[in-house]
Amino acid sequence: CIMAESESEYNESEHNSSECDDENWEEEEEEEFKGKPLLWLVQEGLMPEACQRFENLHSSSSPSSSNKDGISLNKQIFQVSREDGNYPLHEILMGGTQDSNARKLALMILDYGHAKTIKPTTFCAKDFIKMLSCQPKSHKRTCLHWAAWSNSELIILQRLVWGYPEALLIPDAKDKGGR
């Protein structure tokens, strides 16, 4: 009976220690990802962190100005990967939007871009159309192709078509398993 009590005390202290370790690990993880661009977070599949990054950038500054880190939201959204030419939205849609954070981030990016097309004098409107019309060499697919391929929700498909209706006329590459 005494041994059982000491074992349970040992297990409790071990459990409490692991809770503290988990909290420290989460703080360290936040610091580790703090300076990473949105594109990198999305490529690594870190959708909760990418959503948080978008929300922080959006709330900390006006869309065209830089935040305290010297990074603008426009720059983050319209950053193109040097390896394959993908934008963050391509990466999200390629991975699918079944995850609630991926869906949320895709919609936030689309809403942000649509808000900029209302004022076509901003450079962001041109960047938004360029992102939606882009067909990177690695796969020759637009964002609409990837959204359809990954069975994204209708609201995402509608917003992609609303942003760039010409994408409906672009056939999927036959050598890439077109649908």
Q: What is the pLDDT of residues 10-26, one digit of tens each?
A: 444 444 444 445 454 44
Q: Helices 100-117 and 154-163 sit at what angle, rounded to 10 degrees?
A: 30
Residues 110 and 140 in one domain: yes
Residues 22 and 94 in one domain: no
Number of domains the chain is built from: 2
Residue 141 has pLDDT above 50, yes or no: yes
Residues 69 and 157 in one domain: yes
Q: Is 86 exposed, middle or buried (0-12, 13-18, 19+ CB in 10 A)?
A: buried
Residues 60 and 120 in one domain: yes
Range(s) of the domain holding residue 15: 1-33
CATH number at residue 74: 1.25.40
**Furthest C-alpha separation in the chain:** 78
Closest CA to 163 of 155, 153, 174: 155
Residues 62 and 137 in one domain: yes
CA angle 93, 123, 97 (to 5 degrees): 10
Token output for 132: 């939606």
Residues 6 and 62 in one domain: no
CA angle 24, 25, 31 (to 5 degrees): 90
Residues constituting the chain: 179
Distance between CA atoms of 44 and 104, rounded to whole angstroms? 17
Residues 94 and 72 in one domain: yes
Residues 17 and 93 in one domain: no
Distance between CA atoms of 125 and 145, rounded to whole angstroms? 21
44-59 core/surface letters (b: 16 or more CB in 10 A; e: else):
eebbebbbbbbeebbe
Q: What is the pLDDT of residues 96-130, one digit of tens each?
A: 999 999 999 999 999 988 887 766 556 677 889 99
E-strand stretches of 12-154: none
Q: What does pLDDT average to over the chain?
A: 79
For 29, half-sphere exposure in the C-beta direction (CA atoms, 13 angstrom radius) is 10
User: What pLDDT does 138 receive?
Assistant: 79
Residues 65 and 28 in one domain: no
pTM above threshold 0.95: no
Residues 78 and 156 in one domain: yes
